[in-house]
Structure 1
């Protein structure tokens, strides 16, 4: 099973995964990336941080997938 690394990038922070996790395939990695993205957005919301958050997946060959979301806070 390949080792997949999940790096989290936002407008204010970058977290590089240096441990990785062994996963059976990229479909499982994609699902975990979406869950991690959601958690990263929730963590950022505690600080009231708008902006783009990205989760980049890489393996021994380099990056192969990115999921992202933008949080916009508008006072109406």
Structure 2
């Protein structure tokens, strides 16, 4: 049986993991960035140390902006044609 602090730690890690994956994916599929923002907010609300959640939230917003402005298009377009 897990202690309460272990389950809290696992939830914190899950929020961060899913949040960072969705933040990176939002560079190519921008609307996934909303998930990263939600998980960043959940991490800030539910954790004692709010630094990781704030960093995730800032990067999620930056990655969402880059995704919306066509950052992922640069990787998929053909150069030299």
The TM-score, its normalising length taken from structure 2, stands at: 0.38
Bigger share in helix: 2
